[in-house]
Amino acid sequence: MTGYRLPAPLRRSLTLARKETFQIVRDPSSILIAFILPLILLLLFGFGISLDANSIRIGVVVQDARADARTLVQAFEASDYFEIVTAFDQTALEPDLVSGDLRGLVVIPPDFSERLRARDPAPIEVLTDGSQPNTAQFVANYAQGVYGVWQTRHLGDAALTPPAAITPQPRFWFNAELTSRYNLVPGSTAVVMTIIGTLLTALVIAREWERGTMEAVLATPVSRVELLLSKIVPYFLLGMSSLVLCAVAAVFIFDVPFRGSVLALVAVAAAFLVPALGQGLLISAATKNQFVAAQLALFTGFLPATLLSGFIFEISAMPLPIRTVTTVIPARYFVTSLQTLFLAGDVWSVLLPAIAKMLAVGVFFLALTWLATPKRIA
């Protein structure tokens, strides 16, 4: 009796996949992109980049020498958000604001204490450096917050307490510390997976054409489906390996909480790799040149994943045409899914639509790749 043999199409696919795997192992650039570059990007986004506004250097102009004004200055000095430079004359600090050494000025007017004691409105003036709009908004909001907290505490005396005072009690779900690293590290994982899925696979078929081995492959009985499967499977496994590396680093190096399940994480990552691999193979089949393929992969894969996925910039704040473009970018749904898994948990009402949209884009790319791949050479 003869042993069971796999069907011929499956044997051919496995043989080509094994060949592709050997090429990955022997190619130092593949190992560099798959394992070293992800760690570099994670370290960069996790430790080198922060959206948290801490220790912003501002000036406080004290034009009122009474005790009320001094306690307000002490409140600003005690804040974790500000590094304070005090002066009694506004003109002394204005050059530092112009030069960028200070990001804002808080001016306490001369009649501040007097108006406060008379229970009249006692506003303070906040001047910010508008050349950096985000920081300027932080300074204005945080200064208002410090002033509000100071009012609540300082006016605790019944004689000074305004009638019907209301103290809001904010609560922050999912990221109570408001640490930007918890948002950046999962988002950077999406960028890493895009690099592996799109950039590496964009070089696969193009490399075969440049080396002249594609003609030899097409002269065999291998079909287009078998050829594409042999290219997809090794890089799919490579992408999932990189996901494990990123997830372990996120939890144990960057202390990002992981509140979801491993099964959901694998499902989301697998769904994202379908369009990422499909896009890379489409670029490779269409260009047949590694240099051009790499450039297209960077412009159509890496840059959109970084700029248009909601990873750094809020999509809702983008113009309508750009928001429309983001609806066909798989990284947008992958970033949302990863942030949900890490910070909120298995929220399937968010995950399932994201998976469906990523798979739809992936099927579209794979169909185009199948059309762009040459048939067998007789």
pLDDT of 1 strictly over 90: no
Whether 174 is covered by a domain: the verdict is no
Q: Do 191 and 73 belong to one domain? A: no
Domain assignment present for residue 173? The answer is: no
* Interval 10-29 mean pLDDT: 77
pLDDT the model gives residue 165: 44
pLDDT in tens, 147-189: 888 887 776 554 444 444 444 555 667 776 667 788 888 888 9
Whole-structure pTM value: 0.76
Residue-averaged pLDDT of the chain:
83
Q: Looking at 154, 189, 209, which one is the last position of a domain?
A: 154
Identify the CA nearest to 160 among candidates 90, 68, 87, 77. Answer: 68
Same domain, 35 and 79: no
Domain that holds residue 139: 56-154
Residues 247, 118 within the same domain: no
pLDDT given at position 164: 44
> Which among 121, 154, 187 is the end of a domain?
154
CA-to-CA distance for 82 and 76, rounded, in angstroms?
A: 7
Do 64 and 41 lie in one domain? The reply is no
Q: Residues 253-260: what's their mean pLDDT?
A: 90
* Residues 188 and 140 reside in one and the same domain: no
Based on the domain organization, do 335 and 357 belong to the same domain? yes
Among 117, 139, 154, identify where a domain stops.
Answer: 154
Most confident by average pLDDT, 93-102, 148-157, 207-216: 93-102
Residues 102 and 213 in one domain: no
pLDDT tens digit string along 328-358?
A: 999 999 999 999 999 888 999 999 999 999 9
Q: How confident is residue 24, by pLDDT bands cut at 50, 70 and 90?
A: confident
Question: Please, is 21 exposed, middle or buried when counting C-beta atoms within 10 Å of its C-beta (0-12, 13-18, 19+)?
Answer: middle
Edge-to-edge, what's the strand order for the sheet holding 104-108?
A: 82-87, 56-62, 104-108, 125-128
Judge whether 38 lies within some domain: yes
Same domain, 71 and 122: yes
358, 339: one domain: yes
Residue with tokens 């399940």: 261
Q: Is residue 166 part of a domain?
A: no
Do 140 and 188 sit in the same domain of this protein? no
Cα separations in angstroms, 261 against 176, 191, 196, 265: 21, 21, 23, 6
The pLDDT value recorded for residue 163 is 46
182-209 mean pLDDT:
85
- Report how many domains make up the chain: 2
**Does 290 map to a domain?**
yes
In the predicted model, is pLDDT for residue 361 greater than 90? yes
Q: Which among 13-22, 42-51, 157-166, 342-351 has the top mean pLDDT?
A: 342-351
Measured distance CA(103)–CA(84) in Å, rounded: 11
Q: What is the pLDDT of residues 56-94, one digit of tens each?
A: 888 888 888 888 888 888 888 888 888 888 888 888 888
Q: What is the pLDDT of residue 171?
A: 60
**Are residues 266 and 367 located together in one domain of the fold?**
yes
> Which of 16-30, 269-283, 305-319 has the weakest average pLDDT?
16-30
| Together in a domain, 348 and 248 | yes
Cα distance between residue 250 and residue 199, in whole Å: 23
CATH code (residue 76): 3.40.1710.10
